[in-house]
Structure 1
Amino acid sequence: MSRNVWLLTVILITVLLGVNNTIYYFTTKESLEDNLRHELESVAKQIQISIELSRNGAEVYQEQIGRELRAASIAAQFALNPELEKVTNAQLGELSDKLDLLDITLLQRTPDNIILAKSSDPGQIGLKTKTWDPWYKAFKQLFDERRVTIDWGQKLENFWSGPFEFSSSDTSKVNKWGYYYDGTTDYIIDPYISFDDRQLHYEERTGVSRLITRTLGENSSIVEIAVINPHTFPLGTRTTITEEGKELKHMTQEPIISGSNRFKHDSDKANVKLANEQDDYVWLDTHMDGKHIIKLYIPVSIDEKSASMVDENGDPINRYVLMLVADYKSIQDKLDKQFVGIILIIAIVTLLSLLVLYLAFIAYRKSRDKLVRKAQETYVDEVNGLFQSIRAQRHDFMNHVQTIHSFAQMNKTEELKRYTAELAGEIREMNDIINIGNPAIAALIRSKISQAEAMRIKLKADFTDLNKLELGVKSLDLTRMLGNLIDNAFDEVQSYAEERRCVSARGCQQEGYLEFVVSNICDDTAKLSDKRIFDPGYSTKNDAHNGLGLAIVKSIVDQYKGTVRIVMDKEDWIAFIIRIPH
């Protein structure tokens, strides 16, 4: 029979270990996948920071170009006649060469439009700007107010510049224009440069596109990165038709700002929208082109709205979505490698567990009798200890009785009265505490009585009807309120002579409310009339106190829609009265 029990136990333990290890295996698999997801999130965060730094750098570089265009505008203003009719296109061409600009154009205001009147580029002359939103609005503000206030572009004194954008006169080129007007001329000076001459050099070395290329080369598990405009991504590439009938793209409204989106999925638009609106990561686990991939959509908020990214209405945006595509094969390879190790560990742990179990059974059989004897000895010791406690209690009782009997035999009536009064006082004091009714308050008062005895403070406690307490007030909150008020009273009376160290604590349930009153002797009641007495951090005591006690009391009372007030109706006494409705 014993052998059958042993065999059944071993089988049961083996099954339990197998189930436990199986659960552990799949739990660990899920944990590893989560860890790898976190790792991908970490890589994505690093890429996000790098891209944001690069993008900010490009913005700063554009602003520097804008300042150069303003300086070129001022130089051109000194070189040109203030009247448009007295300026020739040839002069503008010569001046643009000297200032190392692509071209210079002069804008003239007409009754119903603002036109490109003269330019070193013949293709610019005669173009109307009324449909160039928001550029036209900026031109009008320059003419009217000599400054631009629209929430887009770079604004300097008497100057405004938009980001790099496709040219209306030559839709294949990307330029950056600056516009200057200080009222001394009858035209706006518009110098501009080519993207290929300035910004392209920056982008090739440190720009976002360069960063994406390097990141893809250094991270084998990441196969694609894209910076997405969440507003125009669902709409596709935005174009308009120029006066010459050419199709004009808008660089600032491109759906893919940088990178590419070769791994397109039907849920991309919905996921980009979700990430942008919820400001949280969105994951997509899918198969495409025979690959198991994970797409991660990361919303990236920017501190200031960027002029180089606008929505479908031309308004600057303050968030874009970074999309990463990871090849799950590299992740799966890591998982498989770790799983092999886990399986070996599980097998070794199982064998060791069975060996330990076998040895434990052998040790158990040898020590069973010893443990039984030990248990009996422990039981006897515990019984002896119990009798010892009873004898000690009886001994104390007999001492009290014998002392009372001795005082009676010796007719020492006064001593007998004092002794029995002291004994009865201890019993009555304990009974009073027990009869408070609320265990939490009873424990607090018992603790404060002990504390008061050590500090030589006379604490009078009187609590009634708390055994019928039916309020929504937590016991923790009751003890916090009373404890802080009693501690404040102890702090106050401790500085007085011992015979004046008096504190009173009362509590009862009245009709419609619960009332607590804590009072104490106080020679300087004026200091407690300050309205800041309940403010956190305010204290009338020394620097060792943090001034939080009364603030805590006030916050708890307010929580229960109650009141706390200070009463000074007795000379040299002050009372804090709390009332909580029920």
Structure 2
Amino acid sequence: MQRNVWLITISIVLALILINNTVYYFLTKKTLEDAHESEMLRLGKQIEISVEQYRKSTEYYEAQIGRELRAASIAAQYALDPDVEKVTDEQLKELSAKLDIDHISLLKRTEDDIILYRSSDPTQPGKSTKSWKPWHQIFQQLFNQEKLSEEWVGQSMAHFWSGPFETSSTDKGKIYKWGYYYDGTTNYIVDPYVDYKGSLEAFDRLAGVDRLIGDLIEKDDSLLEIAVFNPETFPDGVWYMKEGIGRKENLVQRPQLYGKYEIKTGKDVESVREAYSSGKIVSFVEDAGELSIHKMFIPVSAADQGINIVDENGEPMDTYVLSIVSDYSYIQHKLDSQFLNLGLIISLLTAASVVIAVIALRYYKQTRERAVAMTQETYTEEINSMFHSIRAQRHDFLNHVQTIHMLAELNKHRELVAYTKELTGEIRLMNDIINIGNPAIAALIRSKISQAESYKIAFSCHFNGLKLQGMGAKTLDMNRILGNLIDNAFDEVLKYEESMRQVCLTVNQTENMLEIVIFNTCLEAKKLAAKPLFEAGYSTKRDQHQGLGLSIVKSIAERYKGETEVVADAEDELKFIVRIPL
């Protein structure tokens, strides 16, 4: 039985450790995920700021280039004849070299079109601009001396407009920034332009967003990929058919603005659109080949700043989506590391707990053995005392018979009745004790009778059955109940003179109930009956007692689903009742 209790205890402890570790695992995982997401958000904010700084720097740099293109346009206009028919391509080629720009073209207005009429680039003359949106619209406004449209991203100055760097409509392998100047003194628009590689590429290499993204990924082991998307054109972009060059995509409409997009999942398109439309961060964990990745899509608004991107219809946009991809296994590695440390700590604590448990078990076992030995010793002494009393009665039996015979011969009837009454009372009491049926309880009662005789207490007891097997009660518990009740009664009556020291114990066992009743003399019975006599710590004898005796009785009774009660039936008699169901 004891072995089973220990097995159950160990099982419960192991189950609690398992539950604790499981809860700790998921809480730690959630904490690490939240910390990782916060780090990604911080990183996203850093990239967002860097993108904006780069955009502002690029915008300023392009504005400087635009002013230089305007200055070059004015210089070219002064150097050229105001009639486009009198200007040659050779003049333009020579002039562009002097002004240190890549090329100069002249745009002429026809009845239904605006065409590239003269150019230092031999591939340009004769090209129509009718399909160039919104450039063709800007050209019309310049020729008409109208206010230039602000719907398209670009740079406007007096009689001048310059768009952002863009892929050439006549050579998709080239990226240029064009300037367009017309003040009404000529019959053509002056169009100087510079190559991206010669003007902005070096700047991008030194301070561009791609450089920043590359540095961040290189320095952070958990970062795998960072990209900036145009949410309106992602993922396929917008392509146009251009005469002579085939399909062309405008830079300001490209789906991927910066960074790399090589780790792809089926949720990317939906996530980009959701982040863009809701204005909220979208994130998920996904397996991508052998990697477990964490993707985060952050919408970035620049409504008050302006950005050089447009949607599929050419309308300017004020929001882009930042994508950050990190290695989710990085979190798992941290968890594994923490759980390895935790496992070592638990192992050490478990080993220490086992040692402490073994020591405690041995101490408990030794203490129990000592208690059993003391109980056995007391039990033996009480049994020996009872047997000694029985042998003494048998030894004195002949003397009692001789005394009775002599009193009968002397016709001492009154003395004879008194003597036999006392003798039969003692024998009846001893028989009652023997008939209890439990040697340990019988020994306790016999010792209390001897104690009462020494204290000159009139102690009587009556037992109507006391079988502990059927009720599941332990002899030790029953002796503790009886012993504490009797000792409490003895302590109370010892306050009074010898003639008032009355204690009576009655034990009655029926089919359904074991009832123990003890009453003693008490001149304050009514007053004490209202007190919490069965509560721990309460005592009317604080100088000598700790108030534990009756509380022990109550706790044992409640353990067996029983109850206790204090009753004062008379002014000078206090009764204690214990009922235990069978």
Who is 1:89 aligned against? 89
Provide the rounded CA distance (Å) in 1 between the counterparts of 2:59 and 2:357: 69
Counterparts of 1:49 and 1:359 in 2: how far apart (Å)? Answer: 64
Structure 1 residues 11 and 373, CA, compared in 2 at 3 Å: closer, same or farther?
farther
Counterpart of 1:137 in structure 2 is: 137
Q: Which residue of 2 aligns with 1:34?
A: 34
Q: Which residue of structure 2 aligns with residue 273 of structure 1? A: 273
Q: CA deviation at 1:239?
A: 2.4
CA distance in structure 2 between the partners assigned to 1:190 and 1:356 by the alignment: 92
| Corresponding residue of 2:174 | 173
Q: Distance in 1 between matches of 2:354 and 2:278?
A: 52
Which residue in the other structure is 1:185 paired with?
186
AA partner of residue 162 (structure 2): S
- Deviation string 1:181-212 (CA, Å, 9 cap, x unpaired) is 12222221111000111111111111122222
Q: Deviations over 1:313-366 (max 9, x none)?
A: 111111111112212233322221122233445566778899999999x9xxxx
How far does residue 238 in structure 1 lie from its aligned partner after superposition? 2.6
Which residue in 2 is equivalent to 1:157?
158
Corresponding residue number in structure 1 for 2:412: none
> Is contact 1:227–1:257 with CA below 8 Å preserved after alignment?
yes
Could you say if the C-alpha distance between residues 351 and 21 of structure 1 is closer, same or farther in structure 2, counting changes exceeding 3 Å? farther
Match of 2:264 in 1: 264
Q: Corresponding residue for 1:546?
A: none
Q: 1:209 maps to which residue?
A: 210
CA distance in 2, matches of 1:18, 1:220: 33
Q: For the Cα contact (< 8 Å) 2:145–2:184, is it kept in 1?
A: no
Other-structure match for 1:436 = none
- Does the Cα contact within 8 Å between 1:25 and 1:342 map onto a contact in 2? no
Instruction: Summarize deviations over 1:51-106 as a string: whole Å, max 9, x none.
Output: 33223322222222112111211222222222222322222111111111111111
Whether the aligned pair in 2 keeps the contact of 1:163 and 1:307 (CA below 8 Å) is no
The residue that corresponds to 1:329 in the other structure is 329
Alpha carbons 1:293, 1:328 under 8 Å: kept? yes
What SS does the corresponding residue of 1:309 show, helix, strand or coil? coil
Q: Distance in 2 between matches of 1:212 and 1:338?
A: 30
Deviations 1:234-286 (A, max 9, x none): 4x143222233533232221111122221111221111101111112111211
| Secondary structure of 1:308's aligned partner | coil
Q: SS of the residue aligned with 1:310?
A: coil
The residue aligned with 1:557 is: none
How far did 1:149 drift?
A: 2.3
Unaligned runs of 5+ in 1: 363-371, 381-582
Change (3 A) 1:317 1:353: farther
Partner Cα separation in structure 1 for residue 241 and residue 301 of structure 2: 32
Report the equivalent of 1:568. Answer: none
The structure having more radius of gyration, on CA atoms, is: 2
Equivalent in the alignment of 1:23:
23
Q: Deviations over 1:483-516 (max 9, x none)?
A: xxxxxxxxxxxxxxxxxxxxxxxxxxxxxxxxxx
Deviation at 1:8, TM superposition (A): 8.4
**Per the alignment, in what secondary structure is the counterpart of residue 70 of structure 1?**
helix
Q: Structure 1 residue 304: deviation in Å? A: 4.5
CA contact (8 A) 1:29 1:339 kept: no
TM (norm. structure 2) is: 0.57
SS at match of 1:108: strand
**1:487-566 correspondence to structure 2 within 5 Å:** none
Distance 2:324 2:173 in 1: 30
3-state secondary structure, aligned to 1:81: coil
Alpha carbons 2:40, 2:324 under 8 Å: kept: no
Partners of 1:138 and 1:150 within 8 A in 2:
no
Whichever residue aligns with residue 162 of structure 1, its letter is G
Question: Aligned pairs, how many?
Answer: 371
- Secondary structure of the structure 1 residue equivalent to 2:130: coil
Task: Rate the CA distance shift 1:185–1:288 in 2: closer, same or farther, 3 A.
Answer: same
C-alpha contact 1:286 1:294 (8 A) present in aligned 2: yes
Asked if the contact 1:69/1:191 (under 8 Å) is kept, the reply is: yes
CA-to-aligned-CA distance 1:409-433 (integer Å, 9 cap, x gap)? xxxxxxxxxxxxxxxxxxxxxxxxx
Query: Does the aligned pair in 2 maintain the 1:14–1:354 contact within 8 Å?
Result: no
The TM-score, its normalising length taken from structure 1, stands at 0.57
Contact 2:28 2:335 (C-alpha < 8 Å) held by counterparts: no
CA deviation digits over 1:126-149, x for unaligned, max 9? 111111111111111112235412
The letter of the residue matching 1:160 is W
Name the amino acid aligned to 2:160: F
- Kept after mapping to 2: 8 A contact 1:33/1:335: no
1:286 match: 286
Aligned in 2, Cα 1:16/1:216: closer, same or farther, shift over 3 Å? closer
Residue 102 of structure 1: aligned partner: 102
> Equivalents in 1 of 2:187, 2:537: separation in Å?
110
How far 1:16 moved relative to its partner? Answer: 4.6
Question: Is the 2:170–2:245 contact (alpha carbons within 8 Å) kept by the matching residues of 1?
Answer: no
Aligned partner of 1:260: which letter? K
5+ long unaligned stretches in structure 2: 364-533, 543-582
Report the CA distance between 1:162 and its aligned residue: 0.9
1:518-565 C-alpha deviation (Å, 9 max, x unpaired): xxxxxxxxxxxxxxxxxxxxxxxxxxxxxxxxxxxxxxxxxxxxxxxx
Name the counterpart of 2:67: 67
Say whether the 8 Å CA contact 2:171–2:245 is kept in structure 1. Answer: no
